[in-house]
Amino acid sequence: MAITRDEVLHVARLARLELTDDEIERFTEQLSAILEAVAKVSELDLSDVEPTAHPLDLVNVWAEDEPRPSIPVEDALANAPDREAGFFKAPPA
């Protein structure tokens, strides 16, 4: 196993996810399988290869500081599960 049950629980807690015992077991297996598959890469000698964070050979893609219209507040809130006045309403943090 490339990942332990405790690590799965830790990551779940960071994402504020509550997992059942079945899920913990299943995700531990699945995440391990993914990590093992990706670990294949480490079999290669990459000492001469620069880390590549981005596939595009571009730099300095940016925009001028010119305002564009925002969306109406009703559109912004259209998908909110709950609201209060113009606010999104979330469970207590």
Is there binding between residue 76 and other proteins (CB under 8 A)?
yes
- 24-63 burial, b at 16+ Cβ within 10 Å, e below that, comes to eeebbeebbeeeeeeeeeeeeeeeeeeeeeeeeeeeeeee
Is there binding between residue 18 and other proteins (CB under 8 A)?
no
Q: CB 87 → other proteins: shortest distance, Å?
A: 4
Residue closer to other proteins, measured from CB, 20 or 72: 72
Which one of 1-9, 20-28, 39-47, 56-64 is the stretch in contact with other proteins (CB under 8 A)?
56-64
